[in-house]
A and B are shown apart, each in its own frame.
Chain A
Amino acid sequence: MSLDQTPGGIGTDDLVLNDRVKTPMYEDPALFNEEMEKIFGKVWVWVGHTSEVPDKGSFKLSYVGLQPVIISRDRKGEIHVLVNRCRHRAATVCEIKKGKTSSFQCPYHGWGYALNGELRAIPYTEGYNTDFDKKDFGLKQLKVGIFEGMIFASYNMDVEPLEDFLGNAKPWIKLFMKQGGGYPVKTLGEHQFKVPMNWKIQLENTTDAYHFPIVHKSFLQSLDGEATETFSFMDDDDGYVEDLGNGHSVMVMMPEFIDLDNDDGAPIPERFAELAEDLRKDYDEAQVRRLVRAVGGCGFNLNLFPNAACSLSFFRILRPVSVHETEIRHIAIGMDGGPAAANQMRMRIHEHFQGPMGFGSPDDAEIWERVQRGSAGGGEDIDVMVNRGLGLEKTSDNGLPVGDISAETGMRSAYKMWKKVMEQ
């Protein structure tokens, strides 16, 4: 197969144009297989957060594309990402979602692996010839990169350094982690749901402010007046979407909450008054204000190609399952060692919008399914338009496009990268 032709015979140039993408992007199973190989099989993929494997011996199951992996922390404290597949005859070696262990033992014939993936023990070794070397049969390792607690993995051992890949997204990740309010960020639990849609429909949506007042009207109606103000970004003129390169982008909805350490001196909103009162028992006023701002979360969505987002106050992780099916995780984060009242409030805010029964996510899921249903049949002559804001964009200090809050700049950024990676 030539590199610029998909198995369906359409070249990437024909699938992704600057102002539109073609319907097979959501519909073509052969294209999906190629994405698994060229994107999820090669680039840096978000797999977890260091707080999910806090101690020596901690492990957590995750995925890279279709492949189940184990994130483990070995006895020296080093983090590994291992393919969850016995090197003998392919059984998964672990089916416990998270926990602590000293080793992984395959349940089929009993091969035992250390936390770093090395093959340590084989029952009845005399059945193998003397040239059999355990060193050759450790669990397959992925390249691991960690930035600000976020763990990424790649099948490509020669992949560019993670920091280069993240590039202009790095300062935004650092800003996002200020939600610890001075404490380290830790995961507090997660919502998981699958949606009958192609993964790129979700990838687009994280930088789509345009849908918010329509799809999330019932969420907005459930807020008090002050909170409604906070979410009125479609009617304000200070929000923007910036292409950060490498497919990453940031959508700034509430510029006043870009840097949570920048206390603007605004009065504490009514909905946080009770929390603030509670915190005043243990903290001085400056700390109370810092914690309350942290609980409220950041004012932006950072979209990281291909599968992660730092979205307002949580991690949004997508996992492609098939051309028509995608699994979504909404991981709540909070303050490791921080005040219980603050973490409780963060979880209540998360529950309000996110997850299978939140006031927001079910409406997103419905719309994404509707996009997939509308795309059925391939729509040879009708395209998916991502041209909003084209011709109106400015240029950032990084030399990249910046559109207004509802511009489809972030989607164009992701598709540019999609095309680049698929052509490699």
Chain B
Amino acid sequence: MKDFPAQTDVNLAVVTEFLWMEADLLDAKEYVEWLQLWTATGHYVIPVEKEGDDFANCLNIAYDNALMRDMRVKRLQGGFSISAAPPAESVRTVSRIVIDSVEGSLITVRAAQHVMEDKFGRQRSFAMNVTWKLEQTEEGLKIRDKIIRLLNSDGMLTSISYLF
């Protein structure tokens, strides 16, 4: 893999910088820019079940390929969704970042994420474990998959009008 120039750059600092940049875009609701972070394949997944990874054969909270991600962003920013216009404001923290594996150009990273939202003067909080499959490309890191495991994914949630 020596011939892949970005390879040598894989370290916690580089990955952390990328994840924080993503988090910053999401809190700022810069979704169009966020879409640019993705490769064309792969999924944005929020499973219901706590175990297993056969997401296609399970009911998920979100299971978005590129087309669905695009439509979701359009919905959130189109101005016609009462829950997203205006959306809840969010502040998130990404921490406890661990690089699980580096195989070829694919980096598997996981982290803890806390999100606080505010709307109607009430605040709600979400805690989740997030796994990213990051692809090293010539344009830098890209997200192939993002799997968000909410602590309460199979319990009683509240509706969410922005992206984790």
Which A residues contact B (CB, under 8 angstroms)?
A: 97, 188-195, 215, 217-219, 221-222, 327, 332, 340, 343-344, 347-348, 350-352, 355-357, 359, 361-363, 365-367, 369, 373
Contact = CB atoms under 8 A, between A and B. Distances in A.
B130 to A, nearest CB: 15
A366 B57 contact: no
Contact of A366 (B48, B74, B82, B156): B82
Contacts of A192: 154-157
B59 A359 contact: no
B83 A222 contact: no
A362 B161 contact: yes
A222 B74 contact: yes
A332 B59 contact: yes
Interface in B90-149: 120
A355 B61 contact: yes
B154 A347 contact: no
Contacts of A188: 59
B151 interface: no
B75 A340 contact: no
Interface residues of B, number: 31
A191 B63 contact: no
Contacts of A348: 63
A192 B60 CA distance: 11
Choose among A188, A215, A355 the residue with the greatest number of B CB atoms under 10 Å from its CB.
A355
A215 B159 contact: no
Contacts of B57: 340, 343-344, 347
B82 to A, nearest CB: 5
Contact of A218 (B48, B84, B156): B84
A350 B59 contact: yes
A347 B54 CA distance: 13
A397 to B, nearest CB: 38
A194 B158 contact: yes
A361 B68 CA distance: 16
Given A357-B159, A362-B160, A351 B78 contact: no
A368 B63 CA distance: 26
Contacts of A190: 48, 59
B149 to A, nearest CB: 14
Given A193-B156, A193-B158, A194-B156, A221 B62 contact: no
A363 B161 CA distance: 9
A191 B154 CA distance: 8
A357 B46 contact: yes
A363 B83 contact: yes
Nearest to B64: A351
A218 B68 CA distance: 13
A356 B80 CA distance: 18
A190 B47 CA distance: 11
A189 B80 CA distance: 29
Closest 3 CB pairs of A and B: A189-B59, A362-B159, A218-B81
